[in-house]
């Protein structure tokens, strides 16, 4: 049975392959989307309402209504909901602006240097944020209405959007050296996460996971918690439950077989953890489906 893509790079499928751009809106953050992930596509989030935070490359980035969040290709990130969170999301492939980069190679700097010379977030109280929010919403409207030449208008607004970020929001954080070290730690962590996800049924111990990273258990646990927001073994449970949801939705496997496939040796423990994290028991979820 083929497993779904998880900590390996997510593949973002654009509905129109000739125009690699799409928009969406999410309410809250479901358990399956709290997983740590990355993708080739560039992503901009507008916080329409509520609050929450991202864990991104080991940094905690809180956000509130009116903020804009930039996520670069390959940024290791995970979202958490605060209260009443609604996010508008734009995703696009860098190839969309390939011609424009010929004339302005610095256009992508807000993504390329996010966390170094640009913040990952534009807060709602910054002087340029209102204009950026207006351009963001205009791109969403054009995408949904799809009137004549909507692709050209979206590209024009996206270029202006990134140009304004370039002009007004560059900074040089004092933490530049520390951030470089964090990125090195993230590279090690990606390999461990990939191994965990390819072997969800294995009965991992903390010492074994730390050995994969060539770190002491205490150092590995600290790095992992900083990047993921929880301990390695708690996150392993979340990964297993996410895969269990996938199997419940896409197969007719018996629940006891799903529990075993996902690394749970005890059915009652699987049911208890599933109910706690997902909000429904496995049988209740399958009945809804």
Per-residue pLDDT tens over the stretch 43-86: 999 999 999 999 888 788 999 999 999 999 888 888 889 889 99
pLDDT at 33 over 70: no
The count of C-alpha atoms lying within 13 angstroms of the C-alpha of 264, restricted to the half-sphere facing its C-beta, is 23
User: Given 3-state DSSP classes, what are the helix, strand and coil percentages for the chain, each rounded to the nearest 5?
Assistant: 50, 20, 35
Average pLDDT, the chain: 86
- Residue with the larger pLDDT of the pair 11 and 58: 58
Question: How far is residue 60's CA from residue 120's CA, in Å, rounded to a whole number?
Answer: 10
> 0.75 cut: is pTM over it?
no
- Compute φ and ψ for 10, nearest 5 degrees: -65, 140
The residue with tokens 């997983």 is: 35
Lowest-pLDDT range of 42-51, 169-178, 204-213, 248-257: 169-178
**76-129 tens-digit pLDDT:** 888 889 889 999 999 999 999 989 988 898 999 999 888 778 889 999 999 999
Farthest CA pair distance, the chain: 61
pLDDT at 147 over 60: yes
The residue with tokens 């979206």 is: 154
H runs (alpha helix) in 38-97: none
pLDDT at 259 over 70: yes
């Amino acid at each position: 049975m083929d497993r779904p893509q998880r900590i390996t790079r997510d593949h973002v499928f654009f509905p129109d392959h000739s125009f690699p751009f799409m928009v969406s809106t999410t309410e809250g953050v479901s358990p399956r989307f709290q997983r740590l992930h990355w993708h080739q596509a560039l992503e901009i989030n507008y916080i329409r309402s509520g609050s929450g935070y991202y864990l991104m490359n080991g940094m905690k980035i809180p956000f509130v209504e009116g903020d804009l969040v930039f996520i670069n290709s390959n940024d290791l990130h995970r979202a958490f909901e605060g209260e009443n969170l609604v996010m508008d999301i734009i995703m696009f492939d860098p190839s969309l602006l390939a011609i424009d980069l010929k004339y302005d190679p610095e256009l992508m700097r807000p993504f390329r240097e996010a966390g170094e010379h640009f913040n990952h977030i534009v807060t709602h109280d910054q002087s340029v944020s209102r204009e950026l929010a207006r351009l963001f919403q205009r791109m969403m409207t054009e995408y949904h209405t799809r009137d004549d030449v909507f692709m050209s208008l979206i590209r024009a607004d996206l270029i202006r959007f990134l140009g304004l970020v370039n002009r007004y929001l560059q900074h040089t954080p004092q933490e530049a050296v520390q951030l470089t070290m964090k990125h090195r730690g993230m590279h090690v962590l990606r390999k461990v996460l990939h191994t965990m996800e390819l072997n969800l049924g294995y009965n991992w111990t903390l010492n074994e996971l730390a050995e994969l990273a060539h770190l002491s258990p205490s150092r590995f646990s600290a790095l992992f918690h900083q990047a993921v927001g929880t301990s390695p073994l708690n996150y392993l449970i979340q990964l297993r439950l996410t895969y269990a949801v996938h199997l419940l939705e896409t197969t007719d496997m018996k629940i006891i077989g799903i529990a075993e496939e996902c690394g749970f040796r005890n059915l009652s423990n699987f049911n208890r953890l599933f109910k706690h994290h997902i909000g429904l028991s496995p049988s209740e979820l399958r009945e809804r489906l």
